[in-house]
Amino acid sequence: MYQWATDLFPICRSLTGQGVRDTLSYLQQQIPELTIESIKSGEQVFDWQVPQEWNIKQAFIENESGERVIDFANSNLHVMGYSEPIDKIIELEELNAHLYSLPNQPDAIPYITSYYQRRWGFCVTENQRKALKPGKYRVKIDSTLEDGILNYGQLLIKGRSDKEVLLSTYVCHPSLANNELSGPVVTTALAQWLKCLTTTEYSYRIIFVPETIGAITYVSRHFEHMKANTIAGFVVTCVGDNNDYSFVPSRSEKSLADKVALHALKHSVDSFQQYTFLQRGSDERQYCAPGVDLPVCSVMRTKYGEYPEYHTSLDNLDVISPEGLQGGFSIIQQCLLLLESNHKYQVTVLCEPQLGKRGLYPTLSSMTEDYTDVITMMDFIAYCDGEHDLIDIANKIGCYATDLIALANRLFNEGLLKKITE
């Protein structure tokens, strides 16, 4: 995963344009089944319109001596996203009004965009800005803003059921590592893993979209189907650093996705930050909007906005690590495994089953044996009433539901349990 992130890091992504296509093509090499869709500029998607396509060849600020004091070639963050083209010579004072920097982080280039209003601008470090002497500067942005297409990638892995789990990640940030690339690379690894499973209970809809407009476009094209079939979903973002784990719930804060994510986090990582829906910030804004209301939450490492490098050039490949990505991958994998096994069971006999005759219960009563496993089994059976699902029962017993799966399968194979389908 870290290698993929390294390969993708230099590409200048935005909402639209060649950078997105290059990124999707690269991912398609890892998952050949990924299809890349195109939507024309100007198409109405709910309350929005697909914007024009933006591409950029080069950009720089040259001083009077012809030195390129700022060069897009050094960092694609140097140009404000969706900058209109410009090529003129201006005084420092005028230039300054088009420069964006962070006084409190003097070595960081901020990540700034102006998607829906035509502007031009350069993002620079505070130190770069301070180094500029009065005088004339040539500012050149060789970009195009024209009717074109918006792209996204999608993949559907069919399971036994038509019910779907959504994995959504975004591909619209330029060279930003944790708050961008960790998402697509972990999602790609999850897609590879899911494809390797012989069979899954649920189908998996996996999408790589530009944030906001891409998610809105995707929902607008698949609304009825997603509304009818999505049982849970996860926005995959900020899953590459090695610090915290974090959780942002769906709008209802009690969807199946929330239940699964909270249970997995509680039992499989040491600690995590629990946010409320008010602290959302990515595409769950669209998936959980009133009337859309898909059961989508977000399970992350350190949440966007909660680490100092966020949305600056410092969110680079040093912020993420193979271990960090592996942790992000694992926690979402745990959620999906749990979803796959989270059935409701009902015992097939009245009163307790006689487990002794099946070799599942000690035939000798004694106070000195360790009955922990037997007690867990009896407790599990006691709640197999067709109403509690595996996670409910695990929450009752105080264990990790994943640890009950083998037991459930054994009792199921003994004919003592039946699965309840909703």
For a copy of itself, the binding residues (CB under 8 A) are 46-48, 81, 100, 102, 110-117, 119, 212, 215-216, 219-220, 223, 251, 277-278, 285-286, 288-293, 310-311, 346-347, 349-354, 356-357, 363-368, 378-379, 381-386, 396-397
* Minimum separation from the CB atom of position 10 to a copy of itself (A): 22
Q: Cα(185)–Cα(358) distance, rounded to whole angstroms?
A: 47
139-176 burial, b if ≥16 CB within 10 A, otherwise e?
Answer: bbbebebeebbbbbbbbebebeeeebbbbbbbbbbbbb
Q: Cα(89)–Cα(63) distance, rounded to whole angstroms?
A: 9
* Minimum separation from the CB atom of position 385 to a copy of itself (A): 4
* Minimum separation from the CB atom of position 276 to a copy of itself (A): 9
Q: Cα(107)–Cα(129) distance, rounded to whole angstroms?
A: 10
Comparison of 262 and 294: residue with beta carbon closer to a copy of itself: 294
Comparison of 54 and 202: residue with beta carbon closer to a copy of itself: 54
DSSP per residue over 256-299, as a string? HHHHHHHHHHHHHSS--EE--GGG--STHHHHTSTTT---EEEE
Comparison of 60 and 287: residue with beta carbon closer to a copy of itself: 287
Comparison of 1 and 315: residue with beta carbon closer to a copy of itself: 315
20-50 burial, b if ≥16 CB within 10 A, otherwise e?
Answer: bbbbbebbbeebeebeebebebeeebeeeeb
Comparison of 196 and 367: residue with beta carbon closer to a copy of itself: 367
Comparison of 223 and 275: residue with beta carbon closer to a copy of itself: 223
* Minimum separation from the CB atom of position 274 to a copy of itself (A): 16
Task: Give 259's contacts (C-beta < 8 A, 6+ positions apart).
Answer: 391
* Minimum separation from the CB atom of position 361 to a copy of itself (A): 9
* Minimum separation from the CB atom of position 257 to a copy of itself (A): 17
DSSP per residue over 341-395, as a string? H--EEEESSSS----GGGT-S-SS--SSS--HHHHHHHHHHHTTEEEEEHHHHHH
- For the chain, how big is the Rg over CA atoms in Å? 26
* Minimum separation from the CB atom of position 397 to a copy of itself (A): 7
Comparison of 1 and 257: residue with beta carbon closer to a copy of itself: 257
* Minimum separation from the CB atom of position 260 to a copy of itself (A): 22
Comparison of 189 and 303: residue with beta carbon closer to a copy of itself: 303
Evaluate whether 120 touches 58 at the Cβ level (below 8 Å): no
From the number of C-beta atoms within 10 Å of its C-beta (0-12, 13-18, 19+), residue 376 rates as middle
Comparison of 101 and 188: residue with beta carbon closer to a copy of itself: 101
Evaluate whether 188 touches 27 at the Cβ level (below 8 Å): yes
* Minimum separation from the CB atom of position 28 to a copy of itself (A): 27
Among the listed residues 175, 185, 210, the one whose alpha carbon sits nearest the alpha carbon of residue 317: 175
